[in-house]
Structure 1
Amino acid sequence: MAAAHSSSDGFAFDWIDGQRRGREAAGLVRTLRPRPADSPLLDLASNDYLGLARHPEVVEGAARAARRWGGGATGSRLVTGTTELHTRLERELAAFCGFESALVLSSGYAANLAAVTALAPHGSLIVSDAGNHASLIDGCRLARGTTQVVPHADPEAVRKALSTHDGPSVVVSDTVFSVDGDQAPLSELSHAAREFGAGLIVDDAHGLGVLGAGGRGAADAVGLAGAADTVVTVTLSKSFGSQGGAVLGPARVIDHLINTARTFIFDTGLAPAAAGAALAALELLRARPELARQAGQVARALHERLVAEGLTAVAPQAAVVSVRAPSPHEAVRWAADCREAGLSVGCFRPPSVPDGISRLRLTARADLTQDQIAEAVGVISRTAPAGAFTAGSR
């Protein structure tokens, strides 16, 4: 017998309309814009820091893996989803970054959820930076430990939080923060964690391929690679131009995640094509370590030229360049005008920005030429709203 329907049928989600009107009034509506495979836009919006997503060897690595292993992993990693390709990627990624072991998951988001939830059991304390990525924040929310959010990049606040807890504890932070591209004080955070016997979990999504010797990441840059109390998560979708994520750390930590991390146990394994592409990108980075340096050089060149134009841009510490916008509405309009002029840029607005300040977010690529840098700066400057310029610059 069919279920009875009440007179309110069709009205269950009317509250959504009110939320949409609120977003429209605040200039916070987000829309999907499918891009063609042959987009004519100069790309400063993607996270393809090393310009490898379309590199012939990376594309062939994906195609070769798909031809051999098929279109998908076919199951969770603990059932049928672990191929020889996955284990090779884990072995080579761990060796490259200087860690004992690695575990590949279907995304960087899943890697962060796995690391935080599995390493913060009931009774533990999680000390989380206020500027952390949404995936780390969600990991803290799902973990059984208690989370204390501390001010951005403040080791003393971390010490103070840790001093209040007697049980297991972990400090959680991005290495490079995705909004402004600033780096966490990793050495100081590590000292604070060790002072109280806490573990350190850091998300190196924006550091791998850009920081450290030959792009080995932020932990390598400060001497924390392979430390027994340090766990690093990475994504394969930025510098490696592929898809997926991984957790790097001591072998006992990785074994613990295999047995307890729900985003690993209950998720289908990473598609073989993505694993093949990531392996090819890793091989390219080994062969061309100068790519990491070039990405940083492009970021600094973008910043210097934007500031010379009178725009308020944050000095990059990796490959992200942030340019302040006067308001969410003007940020959206600015990004749209850039697209019309042939340039693709990121547009970050609340709630994606913890300080509430909207901005254009530019991502440097190692393969950008000086002419392309000049073109991008020219478009951004010509289309900028008046309020984006510093006082007296125009």
Structure 2
Amino acid sequence: MSWTAWAEAELDAIRRADRWRATVAFDSRGVEGTLRGRDVIVFSSNDYLGLSQHPAVKRAAAEAAERFGAGATASRLVVGTRSVHEELERAIAAWQRTERALVFPNGFAANLSVLSVLGGPDVTVLSDELNHASIIDGCRLSKATRKIYRHGDAGHLESQLTATPGRKLVVTDSVFSMDGDVAPLEAIAALCARHDALLVVDEAHAALGPDLADLPCELLRVGTLSKMLGALGGWVAGSRSLIELLINRARPFIYTTGLSPADTAAALAALQICCSEEGAQLRAQLRRNVDMIAPSHPSPIIPVILGEDRAALEAAESLLQHGLYVPAIRPPTVPQGTARLRIALSAAHTEPMLQRLREALQSLGMQR
């Protein structure tokens, strides 16, 4: 069989399983835009504070492109570091209350770097079963012994830590990207302190918390510039020693062209807004928006679990007919039998937009 014939057979299998995926051009105007010629409200973006459309953020990107050019032109350790990279890293360290921070071209590269550098044959990595794909792949690359603990189950993690000799690293999302629930970080941090384990927390979706201040263990924080900050890139924040080790050993950092100056400057401007009174107001608005759809839910990610892949696809199409864009999420992104709609809310959504979503969900029998 030729490679092309093999690929066609694989594609046929994907179609038969209702797992077909394809890119769709969405011409965005923030939380509104045009999809296949139809004006829609988007409820699937990770732009939680709406900062991708903020005038100051867009202006910073344009000014950086004019000053530094379109790209960084080389890896950060050659000539790819600009003053704006260092300014952003200092700002992230101050924001996260750590000694240092390091910026990556994307969040996936940040997790690959952390786990491949800190893992090793003498390390056991203990990972929540619903962690993001970048954490899973980082664990695979680490050459460490890997143990998976039940989702959010501190008791199961404790039993695994107790039975594990040697150096240990626990890794978890703070907010899980497909369920929108929150890890029991205080309990996990207490276990890490008791067992001398390093805790790595991915804060990519933590627009509404949880706050990691005063956790009683060694801690390394990972996050993105592309979600709450509305730009592009990833970051790691922690002790000076751990960050400098990443600079010297992380292959996704060493061998990748640096983050573009425009994206870096946009992220810096967004972070400055995020840390201001305006940022506090945006988070308060986001909290109100979440409560309008799912009162007291801990994050802007609200799943509507429908089970079978076909049901999720049909539900997404039904919402699209109402002018609401909420793509179906199917395995392998989520476990078998848990295909769903993943509603993602933003501070930029207005009350009439949210009312349209709520009424559409009710009319289609898809209340959360």
Amino acid at match of 1:186: L
Matched, 1:35 2:26: yes
**CA shift digits 1:228-268 (9 cap, x unpaired):** 61001000100100000000111111001001111111111
Amino acid at match of 2:19: L
Alignment of 1:150-299 (within 5 A): 150-207=149-206, 209-211=207-209, 218-220=211-213, 223-224=214-215, 229-287=218-276, 288=278, 289-299=280-290
Matched, 1:367 2:348: yes
Matched, 1:133 2:124: no
2:312 equivalent among 331, 340, 351: 331
Number of residue-to-residue matches in the alignment:
358
The RMSD of aligned alpha carbons is: 1.7
Amino acid at match of 1:274: D
Amino acid at match of 1:280: A
1:353 equivalent among 334, 346, 350: 334
Say which SS state the counterpart of residue 111 (structure 1) adopts: helix
- Runs of at least 5 residues in structure 1 that lack an aligned partner in the other structure: 1-7, 213-217, 305-314
Instruction: State the match for 2:36 in structure 1.
Output: none
Matched, 1:15 2:13: no
Q: Give the TM-score, by structure 1 length.
A: 0.87
The whole-number CA distance in structure 2 between the counterparts of 1:285 and 1:231 is: 21
Instruction: State the match for 2:117 in structure 1.
Output: 118
Amino acid at match of 1:271: S
The whole-number CA distance in structure 1 between the counterparts of 2:100 and 2:42 is: 34
Say which SS state the counterpart of residue 324 (structure 1) adopts: strand
Q: Give the TM-score, by structure 2 length.
A: 0.93
Say which SS state the counterpart of residue 77 (structure 1) adopts: coil
Higher strand share: 2
Answer yes or no: is the 8 Å Cα contact 1:73–1:81 preserved in 2.
yes
Larger Rg: 1 or 2? 1
The whole-number CA distance in structure 1 between the counterparts of 2:357 and 2:347 is: 15
% of aligned pairs identical? Answer: 35
Cα deviation for residue 87 of structure 1 reads 0.5
Say which SS state the counterpart of residue 48 (structure 1) adopts: coil
The whole-number CA distance in structure 2 between the counterparts of 1:75 and 1:228 is: 36
Which stretch shows the higher mean deviation, 360-369 or 18-27? 18-27
Amino acid at match of 1:94: A
The whole-number CA distance in structure 2 between the counterparts of 1:219 and 1:263 is: 26
Say which SS state the counterpart of residue 152 (structure 1) adopts: coil
Answer yes or no: is the 8 Å Cα contact 1:210–1:239 preserved in 2.
no
- Runs of at least 5 residues in structure 2 that lack an aligned partner in the other structure: 34-38
Alignment of 1:86-101 (within 5 A): 86-101=85-100
Cα deviation for residue 100 of structure 1 reads 1.4
Cα deviation for residue 146 of structure 1 reads 0.9
